[in-house]
Structure 1
Amino acid sequence: MDSVLSTADRGGPSQPLLLANGLRKHFPIPGGLLGRATKVVRAVDDLSLSVAKGETLGVVGESGCGKSTVARLLMRLIQPDKGTMVLDGDPVDEPHGITVNELRRQVQMVFQDSYASLNPRLTIVETLAFAPKAHGLANAEARARSRDLLAKVGLDPDNFADRYPHELSGGQRQRVNIARALALRPRLVILDEAVSALDKSVEAQVLNMLVDLKEEFGLTYIFISHDLNVVQYLSDRVMVMYLGKIVEIGAVEAIYGSPQHPYTRALLSARPTMDPRRRTKEAPIQGDPPNPIDPPSGCRFRTRCPFAEDVCARAEPLLTDTGAQEVACHMRIRGSGHTKAP
């Protein structure tokens, strides 16, 4: 590994690779006097998470729940209004910590739109070599690494290196984007709906490739998707988001085998089934998510929850450890006042 682009494991396997504490992002809505913002969209509200080295953390939730905003906050593509981040023991963008540029050497991202993510004027090998050259690698070495990465993602360098993005299929372009994310030898790769635009046969190939690359390069993944089956296949832990908050997080076996939050249960029961004897006859969850400009008091899911009681409107449930997973639900908090609480 090239010293100019490599970063050693500093804290050992027990130290989380990434810690985020109290992340908040509110987007102002202009409309008041002289266009001043009087309201905000609460995209992410005081979210804290930890990502262990070598794991895959799946992130699921309905559209608009804040999944992609979390990804962009972790990459610092947008600045948080509040909150801190620590990468393997080093604070991010703080005194005595690492800069955002140093963060992006170790954390890379793959976006959903494979075509918009590539420069149409650069050949594939030029695209892959750009970042390593910008970080000090010689041109010949950068191009050699690019060809090697093309081979790693299943594209013959002799056939694809000098092509342009419009000459590739969607699946081939996404393989190029994954190769580009690996060009700086990162430790963490954030995949934001990276396979959702692909047809199922190509999606399966890319997922298997991601598993192989994780093993070969010792990667850690944050995998964001609306496809619960894909998340189950790829993830070690799963984080369920609703309206900018985490409602449940835990091992994939616990989340899929014994979901504790009503929202998680509704998401899982909405999955299509191939068994005609297990057809879904009623919508597992009613209505649309509330307006993120003015979310409900207390539990944000209470307006759609069949178990909601007065306490759900009065107090916000905090993430509580139930043994196998952490859940933000008054029914799981001892002594909360809910009739179903332990």
Structure 2
Amino acid sequence: MSAALSPGPRAADPRDRGGPAQPLLIVENIRKYFPVRGGLLNRQVATVQAVDDVSFSVRKGETLGIVGESGCGKSTTARLLMRLIEPDTGSVVFDGDLIGDRGGISVSDMRRQMQMVFQDSYTSLNPRMTMSESIAYAPRMHGLGRKAAFERAEGLLGRVGLNVGQYARRYPHELSGGQRQRVNIARALALEPRLVILDEAVAALDKSVEAQVLNLLGDLKESFNLTYLFISHDLNVVEYMSDRVMVMYLGRVVEAGPVDEIYRHPRHPYTRALFASKPTLDPDRRTSEMPLTGDPPNPINPPSGCRFRTRCGFARASCAEKVPVLAAPFGGDAEPNHLVACDVPEAQAARGGVMAVPHA
């Protein structure tokens, strides 16, 4: 992108080190436990297992969607990738370079190529900066001249559908939620990133505005050769935006694969329960029973083995002893790259979303 931002046809990125076959992002066994402190001496008394041994990759030019209940570790994973919080263990590789390693890529250089859009559009912006100042701030801090930085900011405002003369000098409180989120998207693009993490970026918007922003994200992805990591609670939005989907439960990945395969043939009981909970206007598809019963376990003391076993009607005694790993589903009829963390063939072969809590 030039300072004025007039992108041409989609072309190869000169920063592409490993070629199109090299994943842009590889996450291996990343983990984050938060200490819980208490008592008179404020000592650590427990840990919250927010993200536990999560591994995945993001290919260049694709959109990877991440779904799961609140508290499953989606947003914590995003913050770990951006190094807003430091992981306890694990590694993150960006286009073949290990982040934070002496022979790899520094966190500062990584952040120039990986940006993030947060859910709260208001608190993400500095209330004392105009919209053009907010967008131009990062380029100026990275050495771009004032004139060029503001030209880039004005170009980006236009690219996200905001009139420069009308919005460049406004402050956050003078904009609607959808307008502020457009500014946040423009600000994320100001450093010409290759990967953009969208953490519930449309969750707080009205449906009509949400559709406009989703279409905008699709256009920007094509124009600027972007790769997305898309986090959302809305299963319909994830299906619309994503090429692949990763399902998380209580800090771990339970299923991953191509979006069409996951939505047509979910194999993990938790994934089926999620899909069964989607509201529908079809009178012939009304839900007569709760798709999922029981409360989510406490992340301070999660169940041993499979963490979903306390809410799964297919759980066996062995599910409490062994942590299931992501592997190809039983039966061999799934598409390539469809992985599920479940060791019970009957659970994978079942259909429907109603899962009763076992009586054992």
TM normalised by structure 1 equals 0.95
CA contact (8 A) 1:23 1:48 kept: yes
**Identity rate, percent:** 65
CA contact (8 A) 1:59 1:240 kept: yes
The answer for the alignment partner of 1:148 in structure 2 is: 155
SS state of the match for residue 238, structure 1? strand
CA contact (8 A) 1:76 1:100 kept: yes
Q: Does 2:333 match 1:326?
A: no
CA distance in 1, matches of 2:258, 2:142: 37
Match of 1:50 among 49, 57, 63: 57
Which whole-Å deviations, capped at 9, do the CAs of 1:172-214 have from their partners, x for residues lacking one?
0000000000000000000000000001000000000000000
* Unaligned segments of structure 1, at least 5 residues: 333-337
Match of 1:260 among 259, 267, 275: 267
CA contact (8 A) 1:296 1:303 kept: yes
TM normalised by structure 2 equals 0.90
Q: How does 1:118-267 map to 2 (within 5 A)?
A: 118-267=125-274
SS state of the match for residue 146, structure 1? helix
Q: Runs ≥4 in structure 1, deviation > 4 angstroms?
A: 338-341
SS state of the match for residue 321, structure 1? coil
CA distance in 1, matches of 2:40, 2:169: 54
Question: How many residues end up aligned between the 2 structures?
Answer: 334
User: What is the CA distance between 1:35 and its match in structure 2?
Assistant: 1.4
Which whole-Å deviations, capped at 9, do the CAs of 1:312-339 have from their partners, x for residues lacking one?
111111111234210000124xxxxx89
* Residues 43/340 of structure 1: CA separation in 2 closer, same or farther (3 Å cut): closer
* Counterpart residue identity of residue 329, structure 1: C
SS state of the match for residue 159, structure 1? helix
Match of 2:16 among 9, 12, 26: 9
* Counterpart residue identity of residue 278, structure 2: R
CA distance in 2, matches of 1:178, 1:240: 25
User: What is the CA distance between 1:38 and its match in structure 2?
Assistant: 2.3
CA contact (8 A) 1:299 1:312 kept: yes
Which whole-Å deviations, capped at 9, do the CAs of 1:224-259 have from their partners, x for residues lacking one?
000000000000000000000000000000110000
Return 272-281 or 202-211, whichever deviates more. Answer: 272-281
Which whole-Å deviations, capped at 9, do the CAs of 1:37-68 have from their partners, x for residues lacking one?
02100000011110000000000000000000
The answer for the alignment partner of 1:61 in structure 2 is: 68
The answer for the alignment partner of 2:353 in structure 1 is: none
CA contact (8 A) 1:7 1:106 kept: no
CA contact (8 A) 2:268 2:348 kept: no
The answer for the alignment partner of 1:335 in structure 2 is: none
* Counterpart residue identity of residue 300, structure 1: R
